[in-house]
Amino acid sequence: MKAKKAEKKNEIVGKINLKDFWVKTWKLLAPSHKHIMQVAISIFFIEALNLVGPYILKVIIDKITTLDVSQFGPIVLLVGAMLLISQTISIVDFLFTDGKIFTILADMTAYLYNNALHKMIFLDLNYHERENTGGKVVKISRGVDKINNLFGSFFWEVLPTIFQIIFTAIVLLWVNWVFLLLVSIFVPIFVFLTLKINRGVYPLRVSRYDSEEEAAGIMAQSIININTVKSFVQERQEYRKFKKATEKVKNVFNLEYGQLLRYNWIRNIVIDLGRASILFFGVYLVIHGKITVGSLVFVYTISEKALLSLYRISRLYDRIMESADAVERLYDLNLEEPEIKNPERGIRPENVRGAIEFRNVSYSYHESNAKALDNVNLKISSGCVTALVGPSGGGKTTVVRMIYRHYDPDKGAVLLDGRDLREYDLYGFRKFISIVPQEVEMFNTTICENIAYAKANASMTEIRAAARIANAEEFITNLKDSYDTIVGERGIKLSGGQRQRIGIARAILANPRILIFDEATSSLDSYSEKLIQDAMEKISKNRTVIIIAHRLSTIQKADKIVVLEHGRVAEVGSHTELSQLEGGLYQKLINLQKVGDVG
C-alpha cells in the first residue's frame, strides 16, 4: 500500500506543470497581490542600485591606474558616493522591502489558515465523513508552512536573482557581447543539472516525508494511548518501533543528501568554468586595449554575483516541489462546494412547533449501494416523545441527520411544521434543535465554557441553572476549580456520566424546540443512567423529543416508538402495543435483551 502511495506521488511530481502551479498559487494569494507587486518593484530598483557600487569601483580603479595625483580628490568623492549608495540601498530595503515582506508572510499565513478553516467548517457533514479531515488538517498546516517558506525564498533570494541576471545580461552586452555569450552557455547547463538533481532526489524526499509522518504517528499514538502502553508493559516495544522508524528517516536522509552533494560538485565545476572563461576573455580584452582594468573588475564582479546567485534559484525549485502538494490541497479545498445548499432567501422562523414528517424518503450513502433509508414514511408529533429503535444499521442515525439536514433525501422530502426543510435557511431552523450524542464532544477548556458553547453570551446564572437541571452541578461543585475546571482533551478528566450531564446542560442552555438523545445512556453505569434519565424527563416537557436507544427499558414511557430495520419502518406504536405484538421485531428485541444478547 505504501509503495503504491509513493509511486502515485512520484507520478504526480513528474507531471508538475510550473505554469499551473504559479497560476493556482497566485489565486490563493489574492489578498496579497497589491503588496507583492509593491515588493517586486522595490526589489527591481534595489537590484538596479546594486550595480551602481561596482560601477563606481570600476571608475575608481580606472583613475588609480592613471597614477595621476590630481585624481585623489575625485577618488575620495567616489568612495563617499559608494558609501552613500550602500546606505541608500539599506534604507530602501528596510523601509520598502523587508518590512513589507514580513507583513506579506504574516498576512499570508493568517488568511491561508483562516480560509481553510472557514471552508472546512461551512462544508457539509457529508464532506467530512468522506474525507480524512484530521489528516487533512495536519497536511494543510504543513502546507501553509511550506508556501510561507516558498515565498520567503522567492522574495529574498529568487526575485533579486532574476533581476540581477537581467541587469547583468544588459551590462555584459553593453561592455562586450561575448561576455553575455559565455554566461549564456554556462547558465543553461547549471539549470539543466539543477532540474536533473531535483527530479532524481524527489522520490527520496517523498519517502523521507512519509517516514517522518510515520515516525510522528508512532510517537503520537504512544503518548495518546500511554495508559494502555503502561498497562500492558509495552514501553520498550513502543520505543523500539519509534527508533526503527527514525532509523529509516536517517537512512533516506543520507541517501537524499548524498546524491545532492555529488551533483553539487558537478555544478561547482560549471560555475568555476564560467568564472574562468569570463576572466580569461576579460584579460585578453585588457591586454589588447579593448576594455580598461576597471571594466574587467566591474564585469567579473557582477557576473560572479549572478553565477553564484543561481544556487538561490535551484533552492526555489526545491521549494516548489515541496509546496506543490500543499498548493494543490488548498486550491482544491477552495473549489470544494457543499452538497447541502443553503437557499438564498430561506425561511428564518421566529419559532417552530417541532412537527416533523418524512414523506417517501430514500437515501443512500456515497460509498454504499444499499439504501440507508428506503421509502420511509414517518410522523413525529410536536411536543411528544418519539423513540427510534432497531438493530444496528437500521437507519436511526440517518433519520436524525436528515432532521438536521446534514443530508438531503435522494427521493422524497423531510418536512418541519409542514414545510420542506430545503425551504428553510439552514442556520435559521437548526438553532431550534439540540442533540445529546452517545459520546459528548468536549473542548479542552473549562466546564463553564463547554456548557456555554450552545449560547456564547449566557450568564453564569443561566449556566448554573442548566447544570442543575442536568444533575451536573453536584459533581461540578465538588471539583477543586468548580466551573473553571479544565476538562482536558475530549473531556478525558471527566467520567462518561459526567460528560453526558455536561452535554445535557449544553442542550438545555440552547433551549431547543426539538431535542434529540442519541443513545445518551447506552454506555453508562446504573447510577449515572438514572441521573441522566431524571434530567431527560425534566427537560422533555413541552418539547419534541426524539430518543435513539438500544436499552429498551429507557423508552417505555415514550408516546410513540418507531422500529427501523434495513432502512424501513418495520413497526410503529407504544411500548404496550408493540410488546404485545406476537412475532414482532420489537418483542423480539425485548426478549433478546432479557437474556443479555442485546446491549
Residue 14 has pLDDT above 60, yes or no: no
Residue 135 has pLDDT above 70, yes or no: no
Q: Summarize the confidence of residues 475-482 as an average pLDDT.
A: 86
Question: Hey, which residues does 373 pair with through a beta bridge?
Answer: 363
pLDDT-based confidence at residue 521 (cuts at 50, 70, 90): low
User: What percent of the chain has a predicted confidence (pLDDT) above 70?
Assistant: 90
Copy the grid coordinates of residue 68: 595621476
Q: What is the pLDDT of residues 109-133, one digit of tens each?
A: 888 888 888 888 887 777 776 665 5
Q: What is the pLDDT of residues 435-459, one digit of tens each?
A: 888 777 888 888 888 888 888 788 8
Give the residue, 193 or 128, on which the prediction is more confident.
193
How many whole angstroms separate alpha carbon 239 and alpha carbon 229? 11
Residue 1 has pLDDT above 50, yes or no: no
CB-CB contact of 421 with 472 (8 Å): no
Angle at 143 between CA 138 and CA 148, to 5 degrees: 135
Phi, psi of 25 (to 5 degrees): -65, -45
Q: What is the pLDDT of residues 491-511, one digit of tens each?
A: 778 877 788 888 888 888 888
pLDDT of residue 581: 80
How many whole angstroms separate alpha carbon 408 and alpha carbon 430? 15
Q: Summarize the confidence of residues 54-67 as an average pLDDT.
A: 76
Task: Tell me the CATH number for domain 349-432+512-521+538-599.
Answer: 3.40.50.300
Residue 316 has pLDDT above 80, yes or no: no
Copy the grid coordinates of residue 138: 495536519
CATH level 3 topology of 438-508 = Rossmann fold (3.40.50)
Residue 322 has pLDDT above 50, yes or no: yes
The per-residue DSSP string of 560-592 comes to EEEEEETTEEEEEE-HHHHHTSTT-HHHHHHHH
Q: Summarize the confidence of residues 427-441 as an average pLDDT.
A: 83
Question: Hey, which residues does 546 pair with through a beta bridge?
Answer: 386, 516
CB-CB contact of 436 with 504 (8 Å): yes
CB-CB contact of 559 with 547 (8 Å): no
How many whole angstroms separate alpha carbon 307 and alpha carbon 401? 63
Select from 198, 314, 206, 215 the least CA-distant residue to 253: 206
Global pTM exceeds 0.85: no
The residue whose grid cell reads 473549489 is 335
Helix axes 293-335, 133-153, angle to 10 degrees: 160
14-18, 70-74, 193-197: range with highest mean pLDDT: 193-197
Strands of the sheet containing 411-416, edge to edge, are 373-380, 356-363, 411-416, 419-420
pLDDT of residue 3: 46
Burial 206-215 (b: 16+ CB within 10 A, else e): bbbbbbbbbb
Q: What is the pLDDT of residues 403-417, one digit of tens each?
A: 888 888 889 999 998
How many whole angstroms separate alpha carbon 554 and alpha carbon 590? 12
pLDDT-based confidence at residue 590 (cuts at 50, 70, 90): confident
Domain regions of the chain by residue span: 20-175, 177-290, 349-432+512-521+538-599, 438-508
pLDDT of residue 411: 92
pLDDT of residue 585: 85
Write down the mean pLDDT value for the chain.
80
How many whole angstroms separate alpha carbon 337 and alpha carbon 554? 41
Contacts of 318 (CB under 8 A, 6+ apart): 198
Kindly provide the residue ranges of all beta strands, DSSP E only, lying in 400-532, ordered along the sequence.
411-416, 419-420, 433-436, 514-518
pLDDT-based confidence at residue 360 (cuts at 50, 70, 90): very high
Q: What is the pLDDT of residues 230-260, one digit of tens each?
A: 878 888 888 998 999 899 889 888 888 888 7
CA distances, 591 to each of 565, 575, 579 (Å): 17, 13, 10
Which 8-state DSSP code applies to residue 424? B
pLDDT of residue 130: 67
CB atoms within 10 A of CB 95: 11
Instruction: Tell me if residue 115 falls in helix, strand or coil.
Output: helix
Q: Summarize the confidence of residues 162-185 as an average pLDDT.
A: 83
Residue 329 has pLDDT above 60, yes or no: yes
pLDDT of residue 358: 92
Contacts of 78 (CB under 8 A, 6+ apart): 56, 59, 60, 63
